[in-house]
Amino acid sequence: MKPLSVMLSMLVIGMTSSAAMAEGASVVNTSLANASLPNASLPNISPANSELVNRGAYIARAADCMACHGEDYTGGTAIETPMGDIYSTNITPSKRYGIGDYTETDLKTALQKGRTPSNMLYPAMPYPSYSGMKEEDISALFAYLQTVPAIDEAPKYKTDLPFPFNIRSLMIGWNFLNVPSTENRDGLTEMQQRGEYIVNNLEHCGTCHTPRNSTMGFDKKMYLSGAQLGHWHAPNITPDESSGIGSWSEQDIVTYLRTGELDQRAYAGGPMGEAVAHSTRYLKNEDLNAIASYLKAVPAIQTDDKVAAVDVSRLPTPTSESITHDLLAQKDYLAQAKAQVSNGSNSPESLYLAACGSCHGVDGYGQPDARYAPIVGLSSIRREKPDALVNMILHGVEGATNTSPIMPGFSDELNSEQIAGITNYVRVNFGGLNSSEVSANDVDRIATTGTDKPFLIKYAGLLAVIGIIVAIIIIVFIMRAILRSRRRR
């Protein structure tokens, strides 16, 4: 259940991470990209469970509940939003801390209307998308959630937003303006209708990939065209040829969602790595095919963050097909580069080898067996805007799972000029670009640029105080008018 602003915190297709990949995702090569991929074994499916419960386990994966609530459903994940951090809750059948007292109607109301028996929810729980969930899927999910182990623990942190966002009743007005978040389109095939349901409702892809309007609801005119989420950028996944995924075939989309990787084009890390790890790799092939068919049918939207076409002739050749031999061969080479940097060398190649080479390799092909990402040809380093790559170098990338490697950030170790040098080196040598001219000033700009808060969010506190004062003045005016009227009588 990834939400509002990060999942709101998310990188996806093309904005691939230079670090951790989804646990269990296999390395994709050219032959595999065109092959039929087997369904992944779905955890929590048991012959001992009813068909309804096992179907609910699948719905939980398709709705990506684990991304926020964890594999054990105990919650506690911080979801960054422009209003502050919102923490996911315990949704195990615990009667004290979880949803053990929920009826199926309670769950349906929470999913479709953002309201629990005790309070309104914030749209970090993506009920604007879940509002379109089918009744039979909610029934199956409810049946499944009753069977997971009840854990009588409250999350370590509790949502505590500043005024006026701590007034949950304000969500009534927000819901009126922004729920549902999407509308079904006409003229789709049966397969595309299924894909639309998964993309818009269950997987809630627009939560990350659609820009927000002034109220932080979806900007529907820019549906799936990409959005900035703090330091992350969820890229354009419409079928635009220059800035989206128009060059991807339907099989490419299926391969990426199943494995988290597309050879020399994309690698899923950060929030998208989580989505692959917890959700999309478990989907049935027919559902992945439906998603792919729908994404190729949505209106193409061109944005100004275009991606240069892959020039395969400019990409490096792997040093060795044997990753073990490759690492041994690189050992002395990397040690020499680190020594040069220690002695004051600012050579972009030396900086890359010293800071990045031990994980991503001297040739950029990484260490797939250890789940260190290959970065050769990735669309995130071929974009006209270098912001995605610079942000990854500055801030690092969290692993998709607890056992995934973590890419550290280098904002405290390298200066802006050094980071610019690494950025240019990677874009030219591993992205195949003819040139790259990222400067230290560019790095400084990117480092200090956050997501612009809409006016209503930025000045909500002040506007609320003004509103209260105006309301008091109006009440006083009405009371005086009433008193005068009575005196005249």
Tell me, rounded to whole angstroms, the distance of Cα 205 from its chain centroid. 8
Give the residue from 123, 147, 178 where a domain finishes.
Answer: 178
Number of domains in the chain: 4
**pLDDT score of 107 more than 60:** yes
Buried (b) or exposed (e) across 124-142, using 16+ Cβ within 10 A?
Answer: bbbbbbbbbbeeebbbbbb
Alpha-carbon gap, residue 172 to 176, rounded angstroms = 6
Kindly state whether residues 165 and 275 are assigned to the same domain. Answer: no
Q: Is the pLDDT higher at 65 or at 465?
A: 65
Whether 355 contacts 372, CB under 8 Å? no
Q: Looking at residue 156, what is its pLDDT?
A: 84
Is 84 within a domain? yes
Is 284 within a domain? yes
Is 36 within a domain? no
Q: Looking at residue 459, what is its pLDDT?
A: 63
Q: Is 428 exposed, middle or buried (0-12, 13-18, 19+ CB in 10 A)?
A: middle
Six token digits for residue 22 = 């989804």
Kindly state whether residues 94 and 140 are assigned to the same domain. Answer: yes
From residue 84, give the alpha-carbon distance in Å to each of 80, 169, 179, 457: 6, 17, 21, 11
From residue 289, give the alpha-carbon distance in Å to each of 214, 249, 280, 463, 483: 34, 11, 12, 47, 70
The number of helices, as runs of H, and strands, as runs of E, in the chain is: 20, 6
Count CB-CB contacts under 10 A for residue 156.
9
> Is residue 82 very low, low, confident or very high in pLDDT (cuts 50, 70, 90)?
confident
Kindly state whether residues 60 and 168 are assigned to the same domain. Answer: yes
Kindly state whether residues 419 and 484 are assigned to the same domain. Answer: no
- Is 69 labelled a binding residue? yes
Six token digits for residue 276 = 């692959």
* End-to-end CA, the chain: 62
Kindly state whether residues 86 and 70 are assigned to the same domain. Answer: yes
Whether 57 contacts 45, CB under 8 Å? yes
Alpha-carbon gap, residue 133 to 25, rounded angstroms = 28
> Is residue 30 very low, low, confident or very high in pLDDT (cuts 50, 70, 90)?
very low
- Is 325 labelled a binding residue? no
- pLDDT averaged over the chain? 84
217-236 pLDDT tens trace: 999 999 999 998 777 788 99
Give the residue from 178, 199, 222 where a domain finishes.
Answer: 178
251-276 pLDDT tens trace: 999 999 999 888 878 888 778 888 99
Is 252 within a domain? yes
Q: Which of 110, 169, 171, 129 is nearest to 3 (CA)?
A: 129
Kindly state whether residues 279 and 346 are assigned to the same domain. Answer: no
- Is 209 labelled a binding residue? yes
Kindly state whether residues 56 and 149 are assigned to the same domain. Answer: yes
Greatest CA separation for the chain = 101
Whether 316 contacts 376, CB under 8 Å? yes
Torsion-angle region of 75 (φ positive above 0: left; ψ -120 to 50: alpha; else: beta): left
**pLDDT score of 182 more than 90:** yes
What mean pLDDT is predicted for residues 440-456?
A: 79
Alpha-carbon gap, residue 429 to 314, rounded angstroms = 8
- Is 208 labelled a binding residue? yes
Alpha-carbon gap, residue 216 to 202, rounded angstroms = 20
Six token digits for residue 258 = 């199943």
* Ramachandran angles phi, psi of 87, nearest 5°: -105, 135
Q: Looking at residue 470, what is its pLDDT?
A: 81
* Ramachandran angles phi, psi of 310, nearest 5°: -70, 125
Tell me, rounded to whole angstroms, the distance of Cα 386 from its chain centroid. 19
Report the chain's C-alpha Rg in angstroms: 25
SS3 240: coil
Q: Is the pLDDT higher at 403 or at 91?
A: 91
Q: Looking at residue 114, what is its pLDDT?
A: 95
What mean pLDDT is predicted for residues 378-397?
A: 90
* CB half-sphere exposure, 403, CA atoms < 13 A: 7
Is 71 within a domain? yes
- Is 231 labelled a binding residue? no
Q: Looking at residue 23, what is its pLDDT?
A: 32
> Is residue 474 very low, low, confident or very high in pLDDT (cuts 50, 70, 90)?
confident
Lowest-confidence region among 131-140, 174-183, 278-287, 352-361: 352-361
What mean pLDDT is predicted for residues 338-350?
A: 76
Is 290 within a domain? yes
Whichever domain contains 370, its CATH number is: 1.10.760.10
Whichever domain contains 245, its CATH number is: 1.10.760
SS3 126: coil
Kindly state whether residues 335 and 443 are assigned to the same domain. Answer: yes
- Is 356 labelled a binding residue? yes
Kindly state whether residues 228 and 277 are assigned to the same domain. Answer: yes
Kindly state whether residues 273 and 373 are assigned to the same domain. Answer: no
- Is 395 labelled a binding residue? no
Is 40 within a domain? no
- Is 359 labelled a binding residue? yes
Tell me, rounded to whole angstroms, the distance of Cα 459 from its chain centroid. 27
Q: Is the pLDDT higher at 314 or at 250?
A: 250
> Is residue 9 very low, low, confident or very high in pLDDT (cuts 50, 70, 90)?
very low
What mean pLDDT is predicted for residues 166-174?
A: 90
Is 185 within a domain? no
* Domain range enclosing 468: 454-488
Give the residue from 150, 178, 206 where a domain finishes.
Answer: 178
Kindly state whether residues 281 and 378 are assigned to the same domain. Answer: no
Q: Looking at residue 358, what is its pLDDT?
A: 82
What mean pLDDT is predicted for residues 202-211?
A: 95
Lowest-confidence region among 26-35, 158-167, 229-238, 396-405: 26-35
**pLDDT score of 152 more than 50:** yes
**pLDDT score of 465 more than 80:** no
Kindly state whether residues 132 and 204 are assigned to the same domain. Answer: no
In the DSSP assignment, the letter for residue 99 is S
Q: Could you identify the residue written with the tokens 């949502």?
A: 159
